[in-house]
Amino acid sequence: MIHVHTLILGGGLTGLSTAYHLQKIGRTDYLLAERESVCGGLCKSVYKDGFTFDYAGHLLHLHTPYGKKLVRMLLKANLLRQERRAWIYTNNARVPFPFQANLFALPPDVRQACVDGLVKAAKAPPNTAPKNFKEWCINAFGKGVYHAFMRPYNTKLWGRAPEEMTADWCGPFVPLPAPDEIIKSAHKPPRKKFGYNNYFYYPQTGGCQALVNALAKRVTNLRLNSPVSHISLRKKTAVINGETVSFDYLVNTLALPAFLKLVTDEPALTRAAEKLTVQPVTVYNLAVRGAGKQPFSWIYCPDDKDPFFRVGMQSSFSPNNAPESCRAYYVELSGKIPQMPAAEKRIWNALLQKGIIDTNDEKLFSFWQFLPFAYAVYDKNRAKTVQQTLARLEKRGCFCAGRYGKWEYSFMETSLLQGLETAKKLV
Ligand SMILES: Cc1cc2nc3c(=O)[nH]c(=O)nc-3n(C[C@H](O)[C@H](O)[C@H](O)COP(=O)(O)OP(=O)(O)OC[C@H]3O[C@@H](n4cnc5c(N)ncnc54)[C@H](O)[C@@H]3O)c2cc1C
């Protein structure tokens, strides 16, 4: 039996960052086990016929000095900084993102309903403890914005109504202009840029995988093709590829519900896994030949008639993501969508109708990806279940990290930072 001080499960960005920082601190008696033959998890890239695709858009939103420093150290000159070019296509209008700060672009009746709703919300007594995401939205933006964008878009993305969700994920993700900024935006475009993603970074070559590879080459004790199948937290052992590994500490970066089901000797944890809800995403990737289309970063599509909730232009993130005179898109559909010609036809028709592609474009190839654990759902069970579960695991020497390990909604930068935090806890 092999024994290590720390066993890290999962070679995505979080697992790699934990290993890298452990090594930096001088702790080299760890093992990082990754199921796949390539590390990176959701930050992997797919290379085909001169195109680079990620697993849906994977853009670097760097908000902390250390996050920026680490990424710059890893990617050096291979890093582009880009301005966001994002819109919402709804009600036959093209509204700049974020919707709530660009009411000028809406048809007059929808615009008026948004202004009226906000004025009414501003007069109502402040709701300091919104019970759910619907109440939070109406409090912040009024009923007009809620019905015109927040409700349809979020219902589509999360696969459930806003009243079935809490609002504790919104902080970093939903831009919150002041009421007077929203009202002013009904008359003219705002000068100010809103949101965490008004600019972002992206590797010049190699897609998101370039970041993963730069980190992975600094990690020595990485074992690929090594799925973890059973874990005993009491005996502190795990079965990896049929071999038993014992550890002093365990770091989990696998999706929390999947990880809990691997633990064989804590029935309470298996039950906790049943309380965690996930919203998967299906991605349709498309490579076309054809020039002359204006680049965009991504477009939100809240309307029911569109089968997808967002379309991104992969070839806009770097000129190296597609050969000359070619374009690449990723189309995100909420849930597990049967990857059938009928679904592809609906997507094509909607892309044509929006002018994202046109009939002169030559389709080169397309492929699907399925992301089973894309979004941890913030329903009424999540906060308490996650808090109790993580505390119970820590008592047994197991630390969870990353968007999926902590069962939260967070960025790649969070993965890098949580890797550092976890390494510090372990020494
Ligand atoms: C649709 C979508 C778009 C996103 N876009 C962005 C974006 O633009 N910007 C951004 O900052 N973030 C984005 N994210 C978030 C980003 O993907 C995550 O924050 C990040 O990938 C988390 O990395 P991780 O290492 O924690 O998890 P993962 O990437 O899921 O890695 C977990 C690893 O564990 C491995 N594994 C699983 N089971 C086992 C097992 N039994 N044994 C061993 N190994 C196993 C997997 O193969 C994988 O490599 C997006 C997420 C989604 C779903």
| Ligand 1 midpoint to CA 60 (Å) | 14
The string of pLDDT tens digits covering residues 215-242 is: 999 999 999 999 999 999 999 999 999 9
Residue 89 lies in a domain: no
Rounded to an integer, the average pLDDT of 170-181 is: 87
**Arithmetic mean of pLDDT over the chain:** 96
The string of pLDDT tens digits covering residues 199-219 is: 999 999 999 999 999 999 999
Rounded to an integer, the average pLDDT of 370-391 is: 97
Residue 164 lies in a domain: yes
What CA–CA distances, in Å, run from 39 to 78, 299, 398? 20, 29, 22
Residue 427 has what pLDDT? 87
In ligand 1, which atom is closest to the CA atom of 228? 42
Residue 50 lies in a domain: no
**Which residue in this structure is represented by tokens 């109790």?**
388
| Ligand 1 midpoint to CA 295 (Å) | 27
Percent of the chain with pLDDT over 90: 91
Residue 237 lies in a domain: yes
In sequence order, the 6+-apart residues with CB closer than 8 A to the CB of 111 are: 103, 104, 186
1: confidence class by pLDDT, cuts 50, 70, 90: confident
Q: Does 107 share its domain with 248? A: no
Which residue ranges have their beta carbon within 6 Å of ligand 1?
9-15, 33-36, 41-43, 56-59, 61, 227-228, 253-254, 281, 371, 374, 402-404, 410-412, 415
Residue type at position 159: G
339: confidence class by pLDDT, cuts 50, 70, 90: confident
Q: Does 138 share its domain with 270? A: no
Q: Does 386 share its domain with 355? A: no
**104 vs 340, residue with greater confidence:** 104
The string of pLDDT tens digits covering residues 232-274 is: 999 999 999 999 999 999 999 999 999 999 999 999 999 999 9
Residue 193 has what pLDDT? 86
Q: Does 218 share its domain with 357? A: no
Residue 88 lies in a domain: no
Q: Does 256 share its domain with 389? A: yes
| Ligand 1 midpoint to CA 115 (Å) | 39
Map residue 161 onto helix, strand or coil: coil
DSSP assignment of 347-386: HHHHHHHTTSS-TTPEEEEEEEEEEEEEEE---TTHHHHH
Cα dihedral angle (99, 105, 110, 112), rounded to 10 degrees?
Answer: 100
Q: Is the pLDDT of residue 127 over 80?
A: no
126: confidence class by pLDDT, cuts 50, 70, 90: confident
Residue 95 has what pLDDT? 97
Q: Does 362 share its domain with 303? A: yes
Q: For residue 282, what is the domain's CATH number?
A: 3.90.660.20
11: confidence class by pLDDT, cuts 50, 70, 90: very high
Residue 161 lies in a domain: yes
Residue 85 lies in a domain: no
Q: Does 181 share its domain with 244? A: no
In ligand 1, which atom is closest to the CA atom of 229? 41
∠ CA 93-97-103, nearest 5°, is 55
Q: Tell me the C-alpha distance between 28 and 88, whole Å.
A: 48
Residue 52 has what pLDDT? 98
- Quote the pTM value: 0.96
Q: Report the b/e string of 224-239 with b at 16+ CB within 10 A.
A: eebebeebbbeebbbb
Residue 353 has what pLDDT? 95
Q: What is the tally of structural domains in the chain?
A: 3
Task: Find the domain containing 315 and state its range.
Answer: 278-376
In ligand 1, which atom is closest to the CA atom of 16? 25
The string of pLDDT tens digits covering residues 278-325 is: 999 999 999 999 988 899 999 999 999 999 999 999 999 999 999 999
Residue 273 has what pLDDT? 96
Q: For residue 15, what is the domain's CATH number?
A: 3.50.50.60
Largest CA distance in the chain: 71
